[in-house]
Amino acid sequence: MDSTTTRSPTALLRRAASLALLLALHLGLLAYFVGVEVWFGDRPMAVVDYDTHIAQAWRVLEGLEGWGRAWVYDVQLLAGQPAGVIFDADNKGWELWTYALHRAGLSKAAAFNTFVLLAHLAVIPVLYAAARLFRLEHRPALVAAGLGAGLWWFDSFAHWCWVVGMVSYAFASYLVVLALALFYRYTEQFRPAHGVGAAVTLALAHLVHPYSFFIAVVPMFALYGRAFRSMRARQHAWVLAIAGFVIAVNAYWLRTAFRFWHYILDSAYFGESGASFIVGDLLALLLDPKTSGLIGTRTSLRIAVVVACVLTLLRWRRERDARTLPLATAALAMFALGYFGSYSHAVAQIQPYRHVLPLAFLCVIPAAACVELAAAWIRARPWRARRELALVLIPVALALQDVARDVTYYFAPQLPTPAPMPDGAPTPLSASGYGIHPDFRWSAFNADVRSIEDWVRAHDDGQGRFLVEFPPLGDRLAWATDAQVLGGFTLRNLEHSDANLFRRRARGLASDAELREYFETYAVRWVIISTVEPFWTNRPELLELVHSEHLLKIYRTRVDVSLIAEGDGVVTAETNRLSVAGSDPEADVVLRYHWLETLECAPGCAIEREPVPHDRVGFIRVPAPHPADFVIENGY
């Protein structure tokens, strides 16, 4: 981008061919790890966290299509909860992408899936463009893009993020690098094109994931501080405009989030690390699956990239290279946040360990420069200087061996089967020597439970709820059926999650009296258990086993339940609306649905908040007198 020499058509063609070759390799890995048929099929990519994001997206699409609002009162989860307000802050870009493509004619499933495709495909062009903006020539920029793609597939945390459904954060982790590169160029040359590019890219990154703020804030402040005294008033206005544009683009959901912030709960459950994780990552030790993922720790490529990055930054610092400030401050901030953020309870709310991923992506640019410098140094050395070369080539060869060993971890199905033991028994080790480990392709996680969805549809009459133990299945039933579910993501950071027994009690273990009270309070007619837990099989007075499939057991509760806790009538629930028919106008009616301050009762009736033991939100009371038939709607 900054070369002053004229490129010949042949040179440009070679550049395009090298980029195309890298992208082709990337596409081959995409076809292997995810597949081709999933992108435009009739089913969204439903597995683990994907199910949570589908349920969120479907509710937001309902709100946008039905009311022109990006949030709703969701009657299908947790006895009524506001969907699209806070818990889905990491899903805004995904939701808007799905809505836009669905309006353009794609099915909801295809629109949802293609966001995942975009996150996979954009790694190479985004990091290549960022490297060029940071003044790397074509070859090292290509190396930077290649290193980024390698991290995407073969760094254990990056791989875990996209395979389990943390796609938005993985996407934002490298998208912010481009925003930082554009802002760096703006503070260096003050060209409006770079300012506009920084504003648009940063706004999109925040839509994709709000933690983009924590990735970008330190290096961008550092750049602004360095350029502050040399900037004119108009240039200061540009910086303010960039910040203002980012806020304006995200204001629609920020406004709603702050409106309902009083419902938020402690979120410091996942991604909690500490200094021990530095050792764990260096020695490939899996310390806590809640932090680094349920996948073997494979970090050799990340470590190599960070080490090469440090070497380059030290050289750039000696040379007073302007690129040192943004990349060094960004890398240091991410390292500190990733490994030491959990020591602060406030910082622990943002799952600090996940920031090792933007640390790696930020480091690919200096690392690529290091590779180019090392290659030039080797080319300049005569082969007779073998001792000198050995100082570089031997550690590089060992590092490459370590990286290659880690890469094989992800190709277990293609590795040769070890010879059996002398007695004919199969060996417990894989060809890679790591021990038997699972297939880490996306399809390996994609359990087909459509028969369970069909069973739920056939037995759901809308007058009782399903308590679901396995969180992804709870979210799956909430988006794939019309059932009212108590379950889904267990540690949802809203007070409404008090309605989930499995948040209150580990594995749902409770006394008969507590279970009976819970079933009555939340109108639980069905219980779906996914673990082999004797506790659930020894409750004949409360539960009757009615169906078994896969590893799931479905019980019918032996408790008379009703969605009306006090008074009489029949309630019909749908998004943003509760309809009650046949009630006694002279008696109060209490509905077993969570109260929300935006709900309104009509015609000629009011609602009050009804306290419920162990539930911080409470239910809905409609005091008498009221019409026999009335409707409670979300009035926004």
> Contacts from 344-350 at CB under 8 Å and sequence distance 24+?
345/268, 348/268, 348/272, 349/266, 349/267, 349/268, 350/211, 350/214, 350/267, 350/271
Q: Return all residues near 376 (Cβ < 8 A) that are at least 6 apart.
A: none
Q: Is the pLDDT of residue 216 over 80?
A: yes
Mean of pLDDT values over 42-62 = 94
Residue-range domain boundaries for the chain? 15-373, 450-557, 564-634
pLDDT tens digit sequence for 112-151: 999 999 999 999 999 999 999 999 999 999 999 999 999 9
pLDDT tens digit sequence for 171-197: 999 999 999 999 999 999 999 999 999
Q: Is the pLDDT of residue 4 over 60?
A: no
pLDDT tens digit sequence for 458-505: 999 999 999 999 999 999 999 999 999 999 999 999 999 999 999 999
Q: Return all residues near 85 (Cβ < 8 A) that are at least 6 apart.
A: 71, 256, 257, 259, 260, 494
pLDDT at 537: 84
Residue 600 forms beta bridges with which residues?
633
pLDDT at 319: 96
> Please, which pLDDT band fits residue 2 given cuts at 50, 70 and 90?
very low
pLDDT at 385: 60
Mean of pLDDT values over 355-374 = 95
361 Rama class: left (phi>0) / alpha (psi -120 to 50) / beta: alpha
Q: Which two tokens stand for residue 566?
A: 């006090």
pLDDT tens digit sequence for 84-94: 999 999 999 99
Residue 39 amino acid letter: W
> Contacts from 335-342 at CB under 8 Å and sequence distance 24+?
335/359, 337/214, 338/273, 338/277, 339/273, 339/274, 339/275, 339/277, 339/278, 340/273, 340/274, 340/275, 341/273, 342/268, 342/271, 342/272, 342/273, 342/274
Q: Which of 220-224, 385-389, 406-410 has the highest mean pLDDT?
A: 220-224
Averaged pLDDT of the chain: 93
> Please, which pLDDT band fits residue 5 given cuts at 50, 70 and 90?
very low
Buried b (16+ CB within 10 A) or exposed e, 170-183: bbbbbbbbbbbbbb
Question: Distance between CA atoms of 206 and 220, rounded to whole angstroms?
Answer: 15
pLDDT at 550: 79
Q: Is the pLDDT of residue 7 over 80?
A: no
Mean of pLDDT values over 359-385 = 84
pLDDT tens digit sequence for 266-305: 999 999 999 999 999 999 999 999 999 988 899 999 999 9
Kindly report the pTM of this predicted structure.
Answer: 0.93
